[in-house]
A = this chain, B = another copy of it.
Amino acid sequence: MLNLGQFFFEHVPMEGKITSNGNDPWAVFDSNASGGVSNNWAAQPEGTETGETSSSAWHSGHPQAYQGPGAEDDEWDEEWDDVKSSGGYAESEAGEGGAINRGGAHGSSMKIALNKFPGFSKSGPELYLLSKQPAKGTRLPVYGGEAGPVWAYPDYQLDCVVADPKKGTKMYGLKIDVVSCDPMFLQTTNKPVNHRYKHFDWLYERLLDKYGSAIPIPCLPDKQVTGRFEEEFIKMRMERLQGWMTRMCRHPVVSSSEVFQLFLSYKDEKDWKMGKRKAEKDETVGVMIFSTIEPEGLPDLDLIEVEQKCEQFNRFTRAMDDGVKDLLTIGNEHWKRCTGPLPKEYQRIGKAFQNLSSVFNSSGYEGEATLTDALTAAGKTYEDIAQMVAEQPKKDLHFLMETNNEYKGLLGCFPDTIGVHKAAIEKVKEADKLVATGKITTSEKITMSKRASTMSYALQAEMIHFHTNRIYDYNKVMQQYLEQQVKFYEMIAEKLRHAHSQFTTM
């Protein structure tokens, strides 16, 4: 197999360490950085202590087949272009019959399979609302938490490090290492796995297929990140893949899913194909995911409450989407100014001071060396400041932008997810008419209402998950941003203080 991605993951105790880069956000790209490689969005979310499932659930997926760096030496980059052509689905379609679209759309064409929500159409929700089949697959309990309904959170959270294989190898491109480890079993389980991009893409499609109706599954990072230099482009692509993996690891439902565990436990081609075949035959996809959701000890909600909650989430996610996009626009403009005209101006100021110093030096008047030296130093200081200004966005604005960009991606999933819920609500509203026209029974109407309540609990649990992550992420990124901004301005002040001290006091 060519062009494997390797990544590490580990179980982090829910109230344990926070893996942050602290002072050097770019340390993630430097395998020699002391303090271990970690990432910025990989720490535990605030208020997710409601762990219910055992950590043992994670052990089944531990990777066995680590292929060290250098085992593969093709360019990762090549993989970014062939996904849509053949690499991605061709394999499973040819080999396993293209069983992508299930859960009510059995036998549908490949065209439908490539829809955003392959598991349902506009008339989808009734597939679940009126389903007579027993629930298949792992049950997904929802509990009553302090702030509202919550998913079952594991005692340990997965943490994943996407590693750059360039350092210390002859390979160009990206490698991703995965290590699964429970701190207690660190010695035996901390093994990396390799994955090609098409595997990530396959995972994404599976997750979208299975959970997309209930959980926003953000797109994989763009293949092309525009407006960057080559080196930065590669860094950013890896960073975004890291962000995506971390977010998936953080999600209690996604991270504990069989398909995600399969991905993390990649051993060899044979095992992988077997796992794939099984995952692609999963029938609990699309709206059918709600059939596995089990509100534990929670009363059925009436439709008005269901609708109110849905409306509230809709309003919020739309408003946040606007706010995030606004911040991204402003941030982009600020980035341009900070890397363009502003440092150019500081540079010109610096040059003007230095030029004046040369002129003064040519005066023929003795004894002004103190002034001319100080003026030259001041000029050089402004040239230094120019460089600092130009480099600063990478140190702070970048992370603020990346976090907002990730949220833009997440928020972009909500209209479809909420659309499923809205459609379900509409169906339940029609229930009386359906009973009257004899299309459903009164019993079925009660079931529909109950299932709408279950869907609402799922949505509420997801929103609580979203909120806790959002609070954590924004708190963290704002802290990081401001911390770096403080350092930036302090460093400028310090440089100028030094420049000032070189002038004589008269």
Contact = CB atoms under 8 A, between A and B. Distances in A.
Interface of A: 18, 43, 46-47, 147, 312, 315-316, 319-320, 322-324, 326-327, 330-331, 333-334, 337, 341-342, 345, 348-349, 352-353, 355-356, 359-360, 362-368, 370-371, 374-375, 378, 463-464, 467, 470-472, 474-476, 478-479, 482-483, 485-486, 489-490, 492-493, 496-497, 499-500, 503-506
A503 B375 CA distance: 41
Contacts of A500: 479, 482-483, 486
A506 B327 contact: no
A504 B479 CA distance: 8
A485 B496 contact: yes
Given A320-B359, A333-B345, A506 B472 contact: yes
B486 A493 contact: yes
Q: Chain A interface secondary structure, helix, strand, loop or mixed? A: helix
Contacts of A147: 365-367
Contacts of A489: 489-490, 492-493, 496
A333 B320 CA distance: 37
A152 to B, nearest CB: 19
Which 10 interchain pairs have the tightest Cβ spacing? A482-B500, A489-B493, A365-B467, A327-B352, A323-B356, A323-B359, A490-B493, A319-B359, A479-B503, A489-B492
A323 B342 contact: no
A182 to B, nearest CB: 23
**Copy number in this complex?**
2
9 contacts: A320-B360, A326-B355, A333-B345, A370-B475, A475-B506, A479-B500, A479-B503, A489-B490, A493-B493
B482 A499 contact: yes
Contact of A327 (B333, B356, B503): B356
Contacts of A364: 312, 316
B319 A378 contact: no
Nearest to A312: B364
A411 B322 CA distance: 56
A483 B324 CA distance: 38
A47 to B, nearest CB: 7
Contact of A334 (B330, B349, B378): B349
B478 A378 contact: yes
A411 to B, nearest CB: 11
Contacts of A324: 356
Nearest to A45: B506
Nearest to A148: B365
A384 to B, nearest CB: 13
A371 B471 contact: yes
Contacts of A333: 345
A371 B316 contact: no
B482 A486 contact: no
Given A371-B471, A493-B486, A503-B478, A330 B349 contact: yes
A377 to B, nearest CB: 10
Contacts of A490: 489-490, 493
A364 B337 CA distance: 37
A300 to B, nearest CB: 21
A371 B472 CA distance: 9
B472 A496 contact: no
A324 B490 CA distance: 30
A506 B467 contact: no
A131 B362 CA distance: 36
A466 to B, nearest CB: 9
Contacts of A367: 47, 147
Pick from A316, A334, A496 the residue with the most CB of B within 10 Å: A496
A471 B368 contact: yes
